[in-house]
Amino acid sequence: MTLTLSTKPAVKKQVQAYVVIFLAAIVYTIGFQGFLQVARIFSTGVSAFAALPTFLDTDLIPYVSLFSLALNIPLVRFMIKTIYFLVVQAALGSLFIIHEVNHVFKTLLFYNQISDSPRKDGWPILLMGAIGATLMGFAMGVSWKFGGSTGGTDMITYYYSSKKQKSVGSIMFIISTGILMFSFAVAVATNEDMRDYWLLSLTASISYILVLTVIINFVYPKYSKVELTISSEKVTEISKALKDTGYQHSWRIEEFESGYHQRKSKQIKTIIFLLESRDIIRFIHSIDPHAWISMIEVKRVWGKFNQTVIEEKD
């Protein structure tokens, strides 16, 4: 038996997950097609390959989500939530084929400067890239939190992130930079217009990757660890409850003397993943609503650390 990190019924949690992933797909699509493609900035992962045809023919921009879906299908196999995310994104992205929808984004701030004179005014491209990266990074992080993904190279990112127990953002930065360089070289080689403002495009694309990984690490700090210190008059009950529910991290009970009350008391210390902290704190407060809990960041842990709960949440 393992510690249940949420008191929500399983069905309710699944419904919530699909609703959140749906909303994340909306945000991702707006960031990708409404900002990134408008600014002609190279994206990451499979989306980068899906976007390559648009550098040859700008009339293909409204179809980029469909290209992305087609490229991802062989990769995602039976990952239901990932397929769900991709289908929603493709459906929403297809709306950009409609002239009226495209017109809405063409009237956005900075669009004319970007589309008419990218070499003259570079800052709008950088700004649009930052907005797109923020929206996409937030959507990706939220989707991962609820068991979905954007497909494609997420599989590689997950594998190495889990194997090395490093942040998703740092692994994605390495993979994305490699894909960026390949996409950039192809676009410059096949599109003469790109050669006129290659430095601006490359700068904007690198800035996009930096912002994207920072946002992802903030929203989805998968392997970030914290130490909880729990002071309570029910330490024995809390310790027993942790054991009975199969809590998968070690903990220790310490005795201390209160400086304020001048009496001896006990506290529990344990190191957990940051993503677990909210549910575990709720669990403790369900036993003792008056428990005093502090949390500090743990930079690194040497030795075996159980990550089963984090992997199961994915």
The tens digit of pLDDT for each residue in 62-99 reads 666 676 766 666 555 547 777 788 888 888 878 877 77
Contact 211, 130 (CB under 8 A): yes
Residue 147 has what pLDDT?
A: 78
Model pTM above 0.75: no
d(Cα 111, Cα 107) in Å, to the nearest integer? 7
Classify residue 59 by its DSSP letter.
Answer: G
What's the confidence (pLDDT) of residue 62?
A: 67
What's residue 111's pLDDT?
55
Q: Are 71 and 46 in contact (CB under 8 A)?
A: yes
Residue with tokens 């599989």: 155
Are the C-beta atoms of residues 211 and 265 closer than 8 Å to each other?
no
Residues 157-188: pLDDT tens digits? 766 776 776 777 788 888 888 888 887 787 77
Q: How confident is the model at residue 35 (pLDDT cuts 50, 70, 90)?
A: confident
**Is the pLDDT assigned to residue 137 strictly greater than 80?**
yes
